Structure 1
Amino acid sequence: MTEPADPRPTRAPRRDAALRRDALIAAATECFTTHGYGVPLETIAAAAGVGRATLYRNFPDRAALALAIFSRGADRFEAMLDPALPIMETIEQLVRAGAQSMTLLARIAAELHLDTANIGRFVELRERMERILTPTLIAAQARGEVADDVSPHDLLLTIRMASTLVQPYMAEAEVSAQLGAALRLLLNGLRPR
């Protein structure tokens, strides 16, 4: 015999709960960037204007908070991608938009100690990024900009490599010159032979 359905309607999280979660993610981004991955979680909660219990209700541990930051970055990447753009322009756009996230990822990775479950979550995030990039890659391959044997993983690796060139102290002209040169070199390796 099946259980009767719960008569109460399911609701989306209340707006104030969503705002607190957003505040926690923003505060964690700032705190991890400024103080490193080992910053006390109480500092993050205080910066977000919430208590420690609210932080733990939303994020059971530090790794979950880091994953939320990077998942939010993946959301932004997905929203900005236009497969019709030339691949060089797309990569440059993603590198510029994701420079802060890539710097933060490198900083967190240096201090991160992951258990098996969290390693799996980071792998899922990488696979999600590859799925997000797939339509752009397919369109670039159809236009002959990228070889047919280049995978979404290869494209993500290209973006990550180019991202290491953007440093916060660089002037805009230097960023443009560095990215232009690097992307020409990288894309020559991606083009059909």
Structure 2
Amino acid sequence: MTQHPTAEERRPANDGPKAAARNRAALIAAAREIYAEHGLGAPLSGIARRAGVGQGVLYRHFPDRAAVANAVLEENVREVEQAAAASGATLSGVLGVLTWHLTESAAFIGLLHADRTDDRTDGVHAHASALSERVARSLRGHLTGGHRLGGSDDLMLAVAMVSGAVTGPTREERERRALAAWRLLGVEVGAVRPFAG
């Protein structure tokens, strides 16, 4: 006699909070990839599909498009801040982390170009301006007296100029161009990599 599994035996284990954390991380990773390919206007359904979850799961974590974009950008900024706050951090090391994020995320480039004088009230733009200021603060904390980027707007202007050079079909090409731009500005950049904690 064939024994069929009961409904309880067929149901996958509920990982509860672990699954929720995994799903959120997968959604942010998928959004980063989708935004890099298609920009911030990419359909949310594509993000959910790439993360391997349903759209209901996406909306459980992120109620709207602005919330998804803000989560991706927040992660970029948090890594730059962590690199800046790490013991023994240097400007060149923090710029290496910043440059890695520039080569990985078109959305992050857009964040750094947020116009602080624009008074639009959309959720992404308002949050992007605050995040951009956090990046500037993290970098400014490592400027030494007399540094060539020490002028009032020089540092973020240099970051904007470098981010404008970050183009190309591959991550390697974007990194090569970013490093060439820093070199032309006479700024030393450390290893281009994510912050490893």
Q: 1:134 to 1:106 in 2, by over 3 A?
A: closer
The residue that corresponds to 1:158 in the other structure is 158
Distance in 2 (CA, whole Å) between partners of 1:31 and 1:54 is: 17
Tell whether 2:16 aligns with 1:18. no
- Are the equivalent residues in 2 in contact too, given 1:41–1:62 (CA < 8 A)? yes
CA RMSD of aligned residues (A): 3.4
The residue that corresponds to 2:72 in the other structure is 69
Distance in 1 (CA, whole Å) between partners of 2:43 and 2:174 is: 33
SS across alignment from 2:142: helix
- Are the equivalent residues in 1 in contact too, given 2:166–2:175 (CA < 8 A)? no
Worse-superposed segment, 43-52 or 27-36: 27-36
The residue that corresponds to 1:116 in the other structure is 121
Quick one: which of 122, 126, 138 aligns to 2:132?
126
Cα shift at 1:19 = 1.4
- Are the equivalent residues in 1 in contact too, given 2:100–2:175 (CA < 8 A)? no
Q: 1:83 to 1:178 in 2, by over 3 A?
A: farther
Tell whether 2:41 aligns with 1:38. yes
The residue that corresponds to 1:96 in the other structure is 99
SS across alignment from 2:165: coil
SS across alignment from 2:141: helix
Structure 2 unaligned segments of length 5 or more: list them: 1-15, 114-118, 188-197
Paired residue total: 162
- Are the equivalent residues in 2 in contact too, given 1:78–1:132 (CA < 8 A)? yes
Deviation sequence 1:65-85 (CA, Å, 0-9, x none): 111111111112122236966
Q: 1:73 to 1:40 in 2, by over 3 A?
A: same
- TM-score w.r.t. structure 1 length? 0.66
Q: 1:28 to 1:178 in 2, by over 3 A?
A: same
Deviation sequence 1:81-128 (CA, Å, 0-9, x none): 3696664x3475145312235633456999xxx961513322221222
Distance in 2 (CA, whole Å) between partners of 1:160 and 1:83 is: 27
Identity, % of aligned positions: 31
- Are the equivalent residues in 1 in contact too, given 2:44–2:65 (CA < 8 A)? yes
- TM-score w.r.t. structure 2 length? 0.64
Structure 1 unaligned segments of length 5 or more: list them: 1-12, 185-193
